[in-house]
Amino acid sequence: MRRQDRLVLFISLFLVCTFLIDSHANSSGGADACEKQIEKHKEDDLQWADFSDRVIEFSGYKWRVKGKEKEKRYGPGNNYFGSGEKNVHVDEAGRLHLKITYREGKWEAAEVALVDVLGHGLYEFRLDSRVDVLDPNVIFGLFLWEYQESYENAWRHNVANEFDLEFGIWKDKRRKPAQYVCQPAEMDNIHHFDLDLSEERKSTHSFEWTEHRMTCKSWYTHAEHPKQKQLITYWSYSGVGIPKGKPRVHLNFWPDREPPSDGEEHEVVITSFRFVPAKERKRPVEVETSSNFIWPQRFTRK
């Protein structure tokens, strides 16, 4: 939001609040309503400053598309973000497509963010792409994030209430192609894993967020209840940095500070997103271990 627009907004809110307070002189209702309204607008201004007004519907939820200003670069990767159909669209089958494109001499990334804040519960993503063999220079992220006025000490604390599921090797061919991360990334709060989608490109990935633990699971196919042989990886984490606050779900696909190594446009497809609130979970996952537990991984599809 431009400074002039922000000034007009707050002057308008001030006038409305003055009216509300005068109208409720004998109670605190008007003042309380005014304060809540101002806080809401301040919060919206902070959370959506990088996003366009375009809203899409996917898996029964509304998502806003990143890229408020066409000629401005945003993080991650210091990228331009395309907010149109070429970068973000939902197909006739209801699947979400995120695409890195090359238009008018520049590369554009793609990102959407869930309008609603969902809170504690199970977050599940069904994918229909070869996320095991992405270009070395591109990253696909499915994550929780909350914008802040300041990111001071972000290297020491999880200031943005961030938790990531990321695909990509970050230009390092020795690196495994996927990871769950509780920020800031350290040796004990990041879990790298392998997967092989050469036979079955469909995969499902989930994390369950509770007050003191993140429980993550990935498996082949889109089965709601996977068999043991379909399991890719399982990770339970209860150390420092568990998200607090009100982070939203973000999905992004972006080149890491330089174009794809093959010079081609790239796309990922998300079949669906599902959320189950913590209060509706019939059997919360409990793991009788220390803060960091990993099930054996399956590196091949034999």
pTM above 0.75, yes or no: yes
Average pLDDT estimate for 260-281: 96
Residue type, 100: I
If you write DSSP's letter for every residue of 192-232 in order, what string do you get? EE----SS--EEEEEEEE-SS-EEEEEEESS-SS--GGGEE
Q: Is the pLDDT of residue 132 over 90?
A: yes
Instruction: Give me 164's structure tokens.
Output: 């990531």
Alpha helix segments (H runs only) across the chain: 3-23, 29-47
Q: Is the pLDDT of residue 289 over 70?
A: no
Q: Is the pLDDT of residue 195 over 90?
A: yes
Average pLDDT estimate for 254-272: 97
- The model's pLDDT over 34-56, given as tens digits with 9 standing for 90+, comes to 665 656 556 788 999 999 999 99
Around Cβ 7, how many Cβ atoms within 10 Å?
11
In contact, 201 and 129? CB cutoff 8 Å: yes
Closest C-alpha to 206, from 110, 126, 138: 126
If you write DSSP's letter for every residue of 39-107 in order, what string do you get? HHHHHHHHHTTTEEEEEEEETTEEEEEE-SSTT--BTTTTBEE--STTTEEE-TTS-EEEEEEEETTEE
